[in-house]
Structure 1
Amino acid sequence: MSINKFLFFALSSVISCVQLQAQQAKKDTLAYASPTICKIDSAQLYAGIDSIITEALDSGAFPGCQILLAKEGQIFYYESFGYHTYDSIQKVRNSDLYDLASITKITASTLALMKLYEDGKFDLDQTLGYYFPYLAKSNKSDLTIRKVLAHQSRLKNWIPYYSESQRKSGKYRRKTISTDSSAKYPNRIPGSDLFLYKDFKEDRIYKMIKKSDLYENEAYVYSGLAFYLFPDLIERLSGSSYEEFLNENFYTPLGAESLGFDPLRKFSLNQIVPSEVDTFFRMSKLHGVVHDEGAAVMLGISGNAGLFSNAYDLAKVYQMLLNGGAYDGVQYLRSETIAEFTRCQYCEFENRRGLGFDKPLIEYDSIKTSVAKLASSNSYGHSGYTGTLVWADPDNQLLFIFLANRVYPTRTNRKIYQLNIRPRIHDLVYDLIEDKKE
């Protein structure tokens, strides 16, 4: 164990009393405290996580990561490990930003829909045809928003928009993507030297979704298709741009400064951890730009992916949810709204999902799970393709955030799953909590 961690143990006992006194006035904000304040053995916690992460780094599961753990609003562990890339040049810092990937689904589009729902502007049991007139005469007309958000709607899981725009020769079709900028192709696809047709979103993405087949039988199938449509819906219902709505209603008042889209507008490259070296579409190292190809053709601002953040700013959103919608004296959402969106919607059909939110497996499987065996049935969160995970457990008032770039330099690296890195850390924390209960 490093000398810095020993110093942390020594100092934390001194400063925790001051922090806790300050927290009495603001019980709904995050504060720092030692693990012992949360009745967790510090030595076992640090040694256990160090062992798991050392194995991960030595095995090449990812170059580096951030881990944040909080209980009852007290951050008892926040550490960064490794480097931005395998060249071991730039160490990961707690302030560095990661590509959150599909955590965007619940931290952006779903969060906005929760606000519109409780403001009476959005009906979960209305249909796609009602909210999207261009789908009114399609096979998706009668699909309810509730089933769509719970991944119970028969929607296809994904569409490769960029490859669907190519001919067999590899050349791009007219009015899709170009290697040259022009009035008709004004927008550079993030992380590339390719340019997008000015109406690509409406003429291609929306139309491909409209024409896509449905699965024959209704069952749980994870689908991101509707999350490409939700930003437009949020703008129409709110009267604000998708980004503005999120910033004004959540990110800015929460003080989540690093949380947002297109991070290069505010942060330098050395503050952002790269994701993948793209060898099939954008043909470049993806650094400071969205990893997901679908979000890339949405120009980096989408409902399915595109958010960047450090662990601390992301924690503010989920501590707010754990607090029943309140943070730092401000009520962002009603507790009833959070309960509705985070409950299992179709458990009777063996679908564990909430509305947008992921939930623990209905029947625990140590191989398939991303979270701890002891995570409560009321817990919720989401994983991200880049190696990220956020998980909130209201029964235990426990928050777990793990940020990594397991896709660097290639997405074929699946060691984070093979070694069960994230659930093992999560299991360790629950085991230490349980030890104290006994």
Structure 2
Amino acid sequence: MKGVVLAMCYMLLFINSNAQSNPSNALEVHQNLDIDPITHQIDSIMSHGIQNHAFPGAQLLVAKDNEIIFHKAYGFHTYDSIQSVRLNDIYDLASVTKIAGPLPVIMKLVDEKKFELDVPFSTYWKPWRKRKDKKELTLRQILSHQAGLTPYIVFLSKVMKNGKLKRKFIKTSSSKKFQRQGYPNIFVKNSFQRKMHRIINRSKVSDDKTYKYSGLTFLIFPELISQLTQTDYATYLQNQFYKPLGAQTLGFNPSTKKFTNAIVPTENDTLFRKDLVKGWVHDENASLLGGVSGNAGLFGTAEDLAKIMQLYQNYGSYKGRQLLSEQTVKEFTRIQFPENENRRGLGFDKPLIGNDTLSLKDAYPSPLASSSSFGHSGFTGTFVWADPENQLVFIFLSNRVYPTRTHRKLYELNIRTALQDVFYKAFLK
């Protein structure tokens, strides 16, 4: 037992000294803040997570009053302890894509009166006009997960048989009919997107209109956005949001771009890619769309994520430029159906109802987060949150799915909520 404790002490010292000795990995902090007590608590929680294999490495960025006050990296890309996590590493953001990809565009289209929240979604997505169970569903119901849609469809099962990829849908090299690249040696048939959409269009809808999380329409949104804007979805995002924000790393398929930043790997995939996935989207559904989707697929750094979360925190304004109307952002970030015990905003996650009355272990997020706060989590171990009332942005990035998605210690140890709570307690004294 003594040997185990001693080994843990050495590990803790190694993690902290590694973070402090590497300039690109070191703590960045606002010079006027007494950060020592906070840093000690954060270091302890992060080290505990690494030691318990919640993640091999992670980083945390916190901004207060539109200024980064804390940014520190911990651990390594993998458990072999070879490549240290650095502050400018690029992460697979998983479902954070939903609020950083299609959602700002949808808000802009609402501003421009090209989208209305309370008219049938079939007004814009024509295939639903012939679906009795979908034709009256509204965008408000869909974005707040109140529509009764099927939660998830495993489209990978459509391209595999007996553990092997069907050559009907997947090729190892590109051609005229196979141009959607999901991995270096995986090219998906162009028409498979239409097949996905048909399956979504025909999917079941529950008559019970209560909170049920579904990401299906986020697989549709990129195509619909392209139709409504007459511009490619990814291009529109870059031109209307990422470039104005100066968020240079936010985007899809980073392996196809010339970033000098390291890209953090996700899962050692033994089924589909048969490789350690790195620089290509982890989510299989997004992969089958060539890595460009609305449900997942977005990559970026903590600093670039902080920019879009500050845009939301300031209700559509960033550095004096109003990219979205205040009214629309406030509408999207408020709870929509509290009477149905549904905490969600429009696309955004919100604190649990009655969160401020809960203990830290039961709360989501910190029980000290204001009711006006909002954010989203991602399957790969990412989490972003903005609190307009307290002017606090919280960004946590990890690859908890390494080496496999069965690793759930990040949730079991409640690490992200505990980290967030440290900062609330520091600022709300």
- TM-score normalised according to structure 1 size: 0.88
**Map of 2:10 onto structure 1:** none
Root mean square deviation, CA, Å: 2.3
Instruction: Say if 2:47 is the partner of 1:64.
Output: no
- Closer/same/farther in 2, CA of residues 35 and 341 from structure 1, 3 Å limit: farther
- Closer/same/farther in 2, CA of residues 383 and 300 from structure 1, 3 Å limit: same
C-alpha distance in 2 between matches for 1:368 and 1:132: 39
Deviates most, 266-275 or 302-311: 266-275
Deviates most, 153-162 or 330-339: 330-339
**Map of 1:400 onto structure 2:** 394
Instruction: Say if 2:379 is the partner of 1:385.
Output: yes
Letter in 2 for 1:291: H
Q: CA deviation at 1:432?
A: 1.4
Instruction: Say if 2:31 is the partner of 1:34.
Output: yes
**What is the DSSP-based 3-state SS (H/G/I as helix, E as strand, rest coil) of the residue aligned with 2:72?**
strand
C-alpha distance in 1 between matches for 2:293 and 2:379: 15
C-alpha distance in 2 between matches for 1:241 and 1:212: 26
- Closer/same/farther in 2, CA of residues 379 and 141 from structure 1, 3 Å limit: same
Instruction: Say if 2:182 is the partner of 1:185.
Output: no
**Map of 1:349 onto structure 2:** 340
Instruction: Say if 2:195 is the partner of 1:198.
Output: no
Q: CA deviation at 1:141?
A: 1.4
2:329 to 338, 344, 367: 338
**What is the DSSP-based 3-state SS (H/G/I as helix, E as strand, rest coil) of the residue aligned with 1:219?**
coil
> What CA deviation, in whole Å up to 9, does each residue of 1:249-286 have, x standing for no partner?
11011111111111123345861001111112221111
Q: CA deviation at 1:135?
A: 1.8
**Map of 1:166 onto structure 2:** 160
- Closer/same/farther in 2, CA of residues 348 and 331 from structure 1, 3 Å limit: same
1:226 to 197, 200, 217: 217
- Closer/same/farther in 2, CA of residues 350 and 305 from structure 1, 3 Å limit: same
Q: CA deviation at 1:171?
A: 4.8
**Map of 2:142 onto structure 1:** 148
Q: CA deviation at 1:357?
A: 0.3
**What is the DSSP-based 3-state SS (H/G/I as helix, E as strand, rest coil) of the residue aligned with 1:423?**
helix
Letter in 2 for 1:241: D
> What CA deviation, in whole Å up to 9, does each residue of 1:228-258 have, x standing for no partner?
1111111111121111111111101111111
C-alpha distance in 1 between matches for 2:190 and 2:19: 53
**What is the DSSP-based 3-state SS (H/G/I as helix, E as strand, rest coil) of the residue aligned with 1:189?**
strand
- Closer/same/farther in 2, CA of residues 220 and 181 from structure 1, 3 Å limit: same
C-alpha distance in 2 between matches for 1:150 and 1:229: 16
C-alpha distance in 2 between matches for 1:349 and 1:34: 45
Alignment of structure 1 residues 111-126 onto 2, 5 Å: 111-126=104-119
User: Residue 35 of structure 1 contacts residue 77 of structure 1 at CA under 8 Å; is this kept in 2?
Assistant: no
- Closer/same/farther in 2, CA of residues 417 and 428 from structure 1, 3 Å limit: same
C-alpha distance in 2 between matches for 1:270 and 1:108: 21
**Map of 1:318 onto structure 2:** 309
List gaps (5 residues or longer) in structure 2. 1-15
**What is the DSSP-based 3-state SS (H/G/I as helix, E as strand, rest coil) of the residue aligned with 2:268?**
coil
- TM-score normalised according to structure 2 size: 0.89
2:299 to 296, 299, 308: 308
**What is the DSSP-based 3-state SS (H/G/I as helix, E as strand, rest coil) of the residue aligned with 1:81?**
strand
- Closer/same/farther in 2, CA of residues 150 and 89 from structure 1, 3 Å limit: same
Q: CA deviation at 1:122?
A: 1.0
Letter in 2 for 1:340: E
**Map of 2:283 onto structure 1:** 292
**Map of 1:207 onto structure 2:** 198
Q: CA deviation at 1:177?
A: 3.0
Q: CA deviation at 1:334?
A: 1.4
C-alpha distance in 2 between matches for 1:105 and 1:242: 13
Q: CA deviation at 1:188?
A: 3.4
- Closer/same/farther in 2, CA of residues 239 and 303 from structure 1, 3 Å limit: same
C-alpha distance in 2 between matches for 1:270 and 1:409: 21
C-alpha distance in 2 between matches for 1:295 and 1:368: 32
User: Residue 180 of structure 1 contacts residue 194 of structure 1 at CA under 8 Å; is this kept in 2?
Assistant: yes
User: Residue 61 of structure 1 contacts residue 413 of structure 1 at CA under 8 Å; is this kept in 2?
Assistant: yes
Q: CA deviation at 1:80?
A: 0.8
- Closer/same/farther in 2, CA of residues 142 and 175 from structure 1, 3 Å limit: farther
C-alpha distance in 2 between matches for 1:395 and 1:422: 20
- Closer/same/farther in 2, CA of residues 188 and 234 from structure 1, 3 Å limit: closer
